[in-house]
Structure 1
């Protein structure tokens, strides 16, 4: 149960079934920025303000700090193991197959769930754009999926409000098709989208910073650091746990290591560079939004703090006095610009957000397919999924399968609290990477490390504490998803992966020879079928 795949074997597997290396440091940094800037800053700013008020400035700092120290751990492992798979691959090399499977399974919450959520969110922007600009009314039944409720433990769908979210299907499958065609082509399209997003945010900063009013920052923390007693996921730290979704995606750079030229140098540049750029943007945007029109939360009828998206929150926002509040807007940044008499620029920023979100979907699906690709290459998933397209040189089968599942989820489920659910999987993966970098320092101290995490015995434990703190400040239902999802994954592993993995079958690509052993084929592991036998072929 604790078998590991050596780093030499991982590198040899990647060399044997490798992806085409075509990405440089600038492309990697742009991929990271493309993955990070999107739903978080364009959509979740209002939710963060409802939880923390102007104190969301600290929420961005806290979430960014946790990501920064996690990025340092990621950079060391990615430079040592420049292959696809991200936290899954690192866990396999250090902590064993079962934990590696659980990390890979948890990463589905980060990538696939996030891609579905952003696809559904993009649908709302798209429908608003064509209805306001063109006056075209999209058929109501095809605007959104059904409303879901629980009858005991049985989910029940109500199709009266909608049947299927057609725009979400279109954008998810379009991005999937682009990824099948090739990584370089995807990166070029992504670079254009990143330029649009950065231009829009720069315009927002330029127009809002000069009109900042210091009075809008008071009271700074209306809900305190941890929220009023009896609430979960509120306050500055609760907002940081949610706004963490605004940084999710920087680790997708590490999943591109196998397609990167000179990955030992370029992957750390892409990871830390993209995170630094986005953090600066976020703080300036948050300051502009707060200072320009204020960011005070709305409260329930009894004066209590209310969660964004709840019935009490919707009731508060329906009041005429609250209609212009930042926290009540579905397009926060465009709303700010309209409120300070820049309506045309505000509409243009809304259009930029519409163009920007597909790049986030692209990176989320990209990261998910590369993790599935490596898991299939290791035998933990059916190996047919790892097939490379002869022309496009991409793992097209796993890309298509992932895209279809993302489209289905986006078509039939609402955005809801998917950001928090996605965060639970991400925080678990970051936690495991922090452990892995320390364990590997002890187990293999002499292995070359092109990038070394500074003060690793301080940075890695801080990353673990930070991830755990944010996880336990998520809403209760988001915290519960991770153990339930993990239990489902464990059943699948025990039913398939534990027997079918290459390590279980003795299929190790690189001999791990003793110093005095002659070179030659690796003998099968004890209990493994003989090479060429019917059992081995099956």
Structure 2
């Protein structure tokens, strides 16, 4: 289970059963921007304010700094191995199959759960338009899923908040259908949506910055740097708002569908991250400075987690109705409060149109990770089946879309985002370690992009990921080990026995001068083909 699949074998496998390369540097950067700018800034700004107050601006800087060093690590590995699979593929090449499986399994939390969170965020904006723009009262039981809490190790629902989120189901399934039609078509639609999204945020910044009042920024950090308990304070908000940046690594999962990936993948990764960071800081300043971003308190005056029962009770009070932290459509709400209701509705419409681009990239990334894991034999190979007309892995895309719709229907956005972060931070931590290990194990391999000061940057990335994970809410931290245990059971029941590397099925580049003629021999130590040991 510690067996390693070499980078040469990974590249050879991709060549023999590959996805069509159709994405250039501009498309890739736009895909990155489309994946990054979304629920994190449109919706989770309110949750960050509840945890950190105006100090959420520092939270954005902390989360962005961790992402920046992680992006440099990702860029080196993605340029060396321009194939689908992201952190899963890199871990397989460096640390072995067991840890690669753990990373691939954790990435389900990053991509699929993130897509569900964005679906719920989209639902908040569309319901805001329906209720405030059209004056129609949408049924509460169909506008949100139940609130969940951990009773020991058992998740317990609270149906007093809601029953099922119907809009989240609709958008998740619609995006799934678009992805099945094809990657190029999806990228073209995404480019239009990214332009709308950037224009909407630019207008928001232009209208809010002139009315910023320093009084609204005080107290700057009402819950302190770390808060009274896990998940609160500036660092706790950074751990949650980290979700606003995670889309950048979805660019690396598209490496196998990118033209000239050695050059274009680092451009897409770092370019999209830098562009979005500037936007986040300006939007956060505009929101907090225009109407204030102070958290609501429980009846006893204590700090409360966003999405909790005590938080919902506090937001139900009349005096808290206009608080930023209580809004499900934070940016549109800010514009309405400062006297621009029509512009607020327009921004809500922009969110309605553009948030599906984030769902698109998250489901896109998830299906490509499933695709490459199935191609390695760790998941059923039927998942790699391509559609005869659209040339996309339609089975795994449909399966992923249905799972995303179910999670979006039943869970609130804040909890989904924190759960997604737990898997993301684990994957980023493993990538940070993999860069260092590969520098030691294979120092002479050509690296089209080299992480600068790698022995400083990679450890900073690993420590940053650990620090943010530690400051997630307790329930979100508990999901990762439970989810990991489920994954290990599946691996030892299926993947361990079906693994192509374990069975000696190793692809060798056909054009390599060292490639043997005829069948590829089994790996050293692998059972002989057709033997009783192989059948066992």
Contact 1:146 / 1:158 at 8 angstroms: preserved in 2? yes
**Partner Cα distance (2:410, 2:343) in 1:** 33
**Partner Cα distance (1:212, 1:153) in 2:** 45
Contact 1:87 / 1:430 at 8 angstroms: preserved in 2? yes
Contact 1:146 / 1:157 at 8 angstroms: preserved in 2? yes
1:75 corresponds to which residue?
75
Contact 1:511 / 1:522 at 8 angstroms: preserved in 2? no
Q: Cα RMSD between the aligned structures?
A: 2.5
1:80 to partner: Cα distance: 0.3
1:533 to partner: Cα distance: 7.5
Change (3 A) 1:253 1:133: same
- The yes-or-no answer on 1:21 pairing with 2:32 is no
Change (3 A) 1:151 1:328: closer
1:173 corresponds to which residue?
173
Contact 1:424 / 1:479 at 8 angstroms: preserved in 2? yes
Contact 2:124 / 2:329 at 8 angstroms: preserved in 1? no
1:264 corresponds to which residue?
262
1:318 corresponds to which residue?
316
Q: Deviations over 1:10-60 (max 9, x none)?
A: 000000001111101111111111111111101111111111111111100
Question: TM-score under structure 2 normalisation?
Answer: 0.94
- The yes-or-no answer on 1:435 pairing with 2:439 is no
What are the equivalent positions in structure 2 for 1:80-119 lying under 5 Å apart? 80-119=80-119
Mark the runs of 5 or more structure 2 residues left unpaired by the alignment: none
Q: Deviations over 1:97-146 (max 9, x none)?
A: 00000000000000111112222332232233234334445566544446
1:199 corresponds to which residue?
199
Question: Which secondary structure does the structure 1 equivalent of 2:246 belong to?
Answer: coil
1:357 corresponds to which residue?
355
Change (3 A) 1:22 1:104: same
- Between 232-241 and 123-132, the greater mean CA deviation after superposition: 123-132
**Partner Cα distance (2:115, 2:534) in 1:** 38
2:30 corresponds to which residue?
30
What are the equivalent positions in structure 2 for 1:139-538 lying under 5 Å apart? 142-145=142-145, 164-228=164-228, 231-510=229-508, 521-525=519-523, 528=526, 530-531=528-529
Contact 2:5 / 2:92 at 8 angstroms: preserved in 1? yes
1:312 to partner: Cα distance: 2.7
**Partner Cα distance (1:450, 1:199) in 2:** 34
- Between 205-214 and 299-308, the greater mean CA deviation after superposition: 299-308
**Partner Cα distance (1:426, 1:155) in 2:** 21
**Partner Cα distance (1:20, 1:446) in 2:** 30
- Between 130-139 and 483-492, the greater mean CA deviation after superposition: 130-139
1:314 to partner: Cα distance: 2.7
1:417 to partner: Cα distance: 0.8
Alignment length (residue pairs): 535
Change (3 A) 1:404 1:476: same
Question: Which secondary structure does the structure 2 equivalent of 1:249 belong to?
Answer: helix
Question: Which secondary structure does the structure 2 equivalent of 1:250 belong to?
Answer: helix
Question: TM-score under structure 1 normalisation?
Answer: 0.94
Change (3 A) 1:137 1:516: closer
